[in-house]
Amino acid sequence: MSELAILNPNHTLQLPVEIAERFQPSDRFIVWMDGDTLHLKRVTPSPLKIVEQAPVDEPLSLDEINDIVHNVRRQHHERKAE
């Protein structure tokens, strides 16, 4: 899929709707240039950061911890399959 992104005067890059819908407004990206090619790679926070940032007075539920573990295992298996 090839679409056009637009660089606005305030130096923000407007992604095509079909691509932008795949991300959340708070997503972060690593950006680098390779010649005249611009690369964007979404940075996914470590599941440990989610646990670390949980408020002390509101510990994660067992269901939330279970979801984190399952997501980490799924991502690990997907990487091994590549």
Q: Are 40 and 31 in contact (CB under 8 A)?
A: yes
DSSP H or E stretch at residue 79: helix 62-81
Phi first, then psi: give them for residue 34, nearest 5 degrees. Answer: -135, 95
Q: Report the C-alpha gap between 3 and 16 in whole angstroms.
A: 6
Task: Report the pLDDT value the prediction gives residue 25, as an integer from 0 to 100.
Answer: 83
Supply the pTM of this predicted model.
Answer: 0.52
Q: Report how far Cα 34 is from the mean position of its chain's Cα atoms.
A: 21
- Joined together, the tokens standing for residue 64 give 């939330």
Share of the chain above pLDDT 90, in %: 38
pLDDT in tens, 18-57: 999 988 888 889 999 999 999 999 888 777 777 777 788 8
- Joined together, the tokens standing for residue 41 give 């790679």
Q: Is residue 7 over pLDDT 90?
A: yes
* Confidence band of 5 (pLDDT split at 50, 70, 90): very high
Q: Is residue 71 over pLDDT 90?
A: no
Q: Are 69 and 77 in contact (CB under 8 A)?
A: no
